[in-house]
Amino acid sequence: MNITEQKNLFDLPEDICYLNTASLSPSFKAVEKAGIAAVVQKTRPYLIPSTDFFEPVIALKKKFAQLIDVVNYERIATISSVSYGIATVARNIKLKPGDTVILMQEQFPSNYYSWKKLTDTYQAKLKIIEAPHLKSNLGKTWNDAILEAIDESTAVVAMGHIHWSSGALFDLKKIRAKTQEHNALLIIDGSQSVGALPFSVKELQPDVLICAGYKWLFGPYGCGYAYYGPYFDDGEPLEENWTNRLDSHILPDLTQYQSQYKPFANRYVMGESGSFIYVKMQLEALKQVISWTPEAVQKYCKEISVNAVKSLRDLGCEIEADEHRSHHLFGLKLPEAVDIKSFKKALKDENIYVSFRGAYVRLSCHVFNTEKDFDKFVNCLKSVMD
């Protein structure tokens, strides 16, 4: 499938160059409309049927399951954030002294603090796999180091599909095979990939996949999704809310307290998961994301950025090799001669929005972007190098 520029689906001013979806995606017009309709609906709560606490959530889970290639939608939980999902996972893992939990260098804090707390609790070890100090083939060398680090002491590998700053791709298929050899869990943060990069649970078989919903899935801030595999079928949720218990849809019987949770991932849903406003917005967003397909989004992003990447490399910027990075999100290291303060001011003056993350300037694009957006960024960089 091929897709073309679709800025008409968004309400972005013509003078704005937004290359920052990895931070926060703009809403579709359809998502905005759905949110407003839901706000209006709340003004007359007596018209909201009790089924709205459940049926739209089921529809949402089915959409996300379709996106990540999961047959049983009940393995999907709607959550508030990545940190909520990771904390749920960590709560259901017991370690032995000497066990190791493997993380990548400079992972997002939500995928660090819970693991630090868990390893400290059990006198286990946190093993951080550093990014190689290379100008090229960083991704390949990094993957090799990860695979080498997984051994008989490994209890958990927790990582992204790509690195959230550089865009370096991790070979999850090989990593999963190695974790299975050593009976280690594989916990994936798909926040910066799912929706824009193909991901199949059926193929990769992670134990958990957790995604923020407000980036490449175009939902509102404060929503997320989690897939939980069989290891977590009998786990303990973070909270005891009324909807994660068996038969909670029978509202008159709610005080007939249930000892059993709903099956599969349903026990891990956050309280108030039936949020009328959020769920309606999320449904509209996922419908569009699925219709594009991640494969087509990745192809489009590569096409509009390929010339800019060449120009940026010619200017002395370091960018991961094309075959070892994503194309919807990639980081570049600026030449030492560039004054960061001056560059940031130039970007602001030109209404160009990107992220500065660690050593990288992170560029992230989507179907509302065109090649002209990247040209504008390149010309802005040239202006502070003259």
Query: pLDDT averaged over consecutive 10-residue blocks of the chain (386 residues)?
Result: 92 97 97 95 90 91 98 96 96 97 90 95 96 75 95 97 93 98 98 98 98 97 96 95 79 78 90 88 97 97 98 95 95 93 97 94 98 98 91
Query: What pLDDT is attached to residue 134?
Result: 64
CA distance 138 to 164: 14
Query: Do 79 and 90 share a domain, yes or no?
Result: yes
Query: What pLDDT is attached to residue 136?
Result: 63
Q: What are phi and psi of 24, to 5 degrees?
A: -160, 120
Query: What pLDDT is attached to residue 243?
Result: 83
On whether residue 27 sits in a domain, the answer given is: no
**Which of 276, 291, 306 is the last residue in one of the domains?**
291
Q: Provide the pairing of β-strand 185-189 with 154-160.
A: parallel
Are 163 and 191 in contact by the 8 Å Cβ rule? The answer is: no
**Residue 328 DSSP symbol:** S
Instruction: Enter the pTM of the model.
Output: 0.95
**Domain count for the chain:** 2
Nearest to 365 by CA among 294, 286, 302: 302
Residue 198 structure tokens: 């193909």
Residue 302 structure tokens: 């590569």
Are 279 and 60 in contact by the 8 Å Cβ rule? The answer is: yes
Query: Do 88 and 227 share a domain, yes or no?
Result: yes
CATH number of 91's domain: 3.40.640.10
Query: Do 16 and 129 share a domain, yes or no?
Result: no
Query: Do 287 and 256 share a domain, yes or no?
Result: yes
Domain span holding position 63: 39-291
On whether residue 328 sits in a domain, the answer given is: yes
Query: Do 378 and 262 share a domain, yes or no?
Result: no
Query: Do 277 and 331 share a domain, yes or no?
Result: no
**Which of 291, 312, 335 is the last residue in one of the domains?**
291
**Residue 356 DSSP symbol:** E
Query: Do 129 and 201 share a domain, yes or no?
Result: yes
Query: Do 302 and 202 share a domain, yes or no?
Result: no
Q: What's the start-to-end Cα distance of the chain, in Å?
A: 41
Query: Do 266 and 299 share a domain, yes or no?
Result: no
Are 167 and 325 in contact by the 8 Å Cβ rule? The answer is: yes
SS3 322: helix
